[in-house]
């Protein structure tokens, strides 16, 4: 029996980073963060990886990334096309052509709906999640009593371990009760200032957040039964916000809607995994140093794919 699928969202623009951070080499021999995720996913029993990319980055992605590990597991690619599932009556062609940003992570997941036929995990291409996280998610998705259920899962990280010293970040702050996600609220401007973690709601309003608050880093465990509901959610997004050129439809917000209105149960999986990423280009040095330390500690080989 095949293991679960790893769905990797790699079509982002990297506006804060200033480039395609999903292709940035951070390992000793130019390995990307994505490669460490794939390496850990293989160790956790995942047998297929599906990559959502943009058409204009296909050649570079295949040459710089897929060529390094495609012989180690089944690899498939799909494109996040701007016109996928877009009704011209909701978004006129001239407005669609002028749009410069992808439609967001919910739309990216839908782009892979035609080729995903079993439980799958969703991750960002430019985040490091840790082996413990993949082990926990792989076990959840592979459990026999989960195969025919609608239940979902997420990996939870403490807020204070997911910040950047280089500037504000966006995080989904979670309310969790008895291991079940009850609510997720997107905060788009979180920053640590003078030992306090503040979420700025506007120029005059701010909320202080607890360092131990659970956050989503977009590591979800889902079943194919989510696709019809996600498609309905995206259609509603198009009807209400589709003509706003910079609006994006986010997966965490869709899942929160399903929790509140559709009875979706999301298991919050807590592990000892350490998250890190590269929100800003200045984060690159620290991320590369952390990888080098893990290699020195024997957590990863110097050459992932040798």
User: CA 14, CA 96: separation in Å to the nearest integer?
Assistant: 21
Neighbours of 299 (CB within 10 A): 13
DSSP assignments along 45-103, one per residue:
T--EEEEEE-GGGHHHHIIIIIHHHTTTSEEEEEE--TTTT--TTTS-HHHHHH--S--
pLDDT for 98: 83
pLDDT for 238: 95
Q: For the chain, which residues make up each domain, given as ranges?
A: 5-155+215-296
Instruction: Supply the pTM of this predicted model.
Output: 0.93
User: CA 27, CA 303: separation in Å to the nearest integer?
Assistant: 9
Backbone angle region of 195, left / alpha / beta, with phi > 0 → left and psi within -120 to 50 → alpha: left
User: CA 119, CA 239: separation in Å to the nearest integer?
Assistant: 29
pLDDT for 17: 37
Question: Along the 306 residues of the chain, how does pLDDT read in single tens digits?
Answer: 689 999 999 987 444 433 456 788 899 999 999 999 999 999 999 999 999 998 988 998 898 889 999 999 999 999 999 899 999 999 999 999 888 788 999 999 999 999 999 999 999 998 999 999 999 999 999 986 655 578 999 999 999 999 988 888 889 999 999 999 999 998 989 999 988 999 987 666 889 999 999 999 999 999 999 999 999 999 999 999 999 988 999 999 999 999 999 999 999 999 999 999 888 888 889 999 999 999 999 999 999 998
Just give the CATH number of 5-155+215-296: 3.90.550.10
DSSP assignments along 101-123, one per residue:
S---HHHHHHTTTTT--S-EEEE
């Amino acid at each position: 029996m095949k293991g679960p699928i790893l769905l990797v969202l790699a079509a982002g623009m990297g506006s804060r980073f200033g480039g395609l951070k999903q292709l940035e080499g951070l390992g000793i021999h130019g390995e990307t963060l994505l490669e460490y995720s794939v390496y850990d996913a293989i160790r956790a029993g995942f047998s297929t990886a599906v990559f959502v990319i943009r058409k204009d980055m296909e050649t570079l992605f295949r040459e710089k990334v897929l060529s390094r590990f495609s012989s180690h597991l089944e690899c498939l690619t799909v494109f996040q096309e701007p016109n996928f599932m877009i009704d011209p009556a909701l978004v006129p062609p001239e407005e669609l052509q002028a749009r410069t940003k992808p439609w967001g992570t919910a739309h990216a997941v839908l782009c892979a709906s035609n080729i995903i036929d079993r439980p799958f995990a969703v991750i960002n291409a430019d985040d490091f999640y840790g082996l413990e996280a993949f082990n926990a998610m792989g076990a959840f998705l592979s459990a026999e009593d989960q195969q025919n259920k609608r239940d979902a899962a997420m990996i939870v990280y403490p807020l204070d371990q997911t910040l950047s010293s280089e500037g504000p970040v966006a995080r989904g702050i979670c309310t969790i009760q008895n291991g079940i996600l009850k609510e997720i609220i997107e905060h788009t401007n979180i920053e640590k200032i003078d030992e306090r973690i503040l979420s700025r709601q506007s120029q005059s309003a701010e909320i202080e957040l607890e360092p131990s608050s659970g956050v989503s880093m977009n590591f979800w465990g889902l079943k194919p039964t989510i696709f019809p509901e996600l498609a309905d959610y995206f259609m509603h997004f198009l009807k209400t916000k589709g003509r706003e050129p910079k609006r994006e439809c986010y997966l965490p917000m869709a899942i929160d809607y399903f929790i509140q209105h559709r009875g979706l149960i999301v298991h919050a999986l807590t592990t000892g995994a350490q998250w890190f990423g590269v929100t800003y280009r200045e984060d690159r040095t620290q991320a590369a140093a952390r990888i080098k330390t893990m290699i020195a500690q024997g957590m990863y080989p110097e050459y992932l794919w040798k």
